Amino acid sequence: MIFGTLPSGENVERVELSSGRLRAEVLTYGAIVRSLEVSGVNVVLGLDTLEDYLTRSRYFGAVVGRYGNRIADGRFTLDGVEYRLPVNNDPNSLHGGTAGFDAKVWTIEARGDDSVTLSLTSPDGDQGYPGTLTASVTYTLQDDALRIDYTAESDAPTVVNLTNHSYFNLKGGGDVLDHVVRMDAEHYLPVDEHKIPTGELAPVKGTPFDFTAPHTVGERYDGGYDHCFVLDGGIQVTGGGLTMEVTTTEPGVQFYAGGMLDGVATPFGAFAGLCLETQHFPDSPNQPRFPSTVLRPGERRTSTTTYRFTA
């Protein structure tokens, strides 16, 4: 089903998935999860038209890459060679640059009633990154869960950090400041004034970043979270009588509470949805203490994240 047509004339398709009480819509543009209904309640923020995604998007539901999150000063060094990236979050490169994976049309490789696999080839030099990278993402609805499987391969050394940028609101509307979050994370990454990690893995105990016991989004830190947490286990979010349990093979999660949504550049106001972007750590190519995001020829990077819903 055609969702819209880009100025280039390329069509964007919409794929419908269903399984039990779950329904989802996925777009080939950005591999976007446009909607995810649980018993008729849409729990992710989506836009009405392709034009909205082209002009008003804040990465709603998209796969971001090659490198999700920030790379300091838009540069990194790999095997003694410095690579320069577009700066689109001054002074940093964010979510792959000015034309990252969220702004590409992915190819449908396989589809069924409850799953779809999309692929994308990013050529050598795309947004400054070395190597031709082939990526795929599979969305599967199964057992009251949305499962996301990622793969990536490259013909030359590169860095990669794929994640999905869905905004969740378990009530289906309003804000998420009353959503209760519990996170198995004893440490988080403090950041500087440009939201780049300082390199420290700081204990959450005694700080507003301690979600090892449940807290609402809005009760501390003015809800202004946009930080990476070091995961020791899973995440649980409760709101509107619904609970979402998140598990992942990734070492971290960027918890963003949507504080910069403004109702102007997007149709949604502040805190209309929260993001749980499972991923490797921000700025890892410049932080040798962090888990490596380097991908070399002959290697295959895989990761899996599952969002499971219970009443």
Catalytic residues: 165, 277
**Distance between CA atoms of residues 232 and 228, nearest Å:** 13
Burial 109-142 (b: 16+ CB within 10 A, else e): eebeebbbbbbbebeeebbbbbbbbebbbbbbbe
The answer to whether 254 and 275 are in contact (CB under 8 A) is: yes
**Distance between CA atoms of residues 52 and 152, nearest Å:** 29
Q: Which two tokens stand for residue 191?
A: 């950041």
**Distance between CA atoms of residues 197 and 64, nearest Å:** 19
How many Cβ atoms sit within 10 Å of the Cβ of residue 16? 14
Cis peptide bond prior to 157, omega within 30° of 0: no
Task: Characterize the bridge pairing of strands 133-142 and 115-122.
Answer: antiparallel
**Distance between CA atoms of residues 201 and 189, nearest Å:** 5
Which of 91, 113, 147, 112 has the alpha carbon at shortest distance from 19?
113
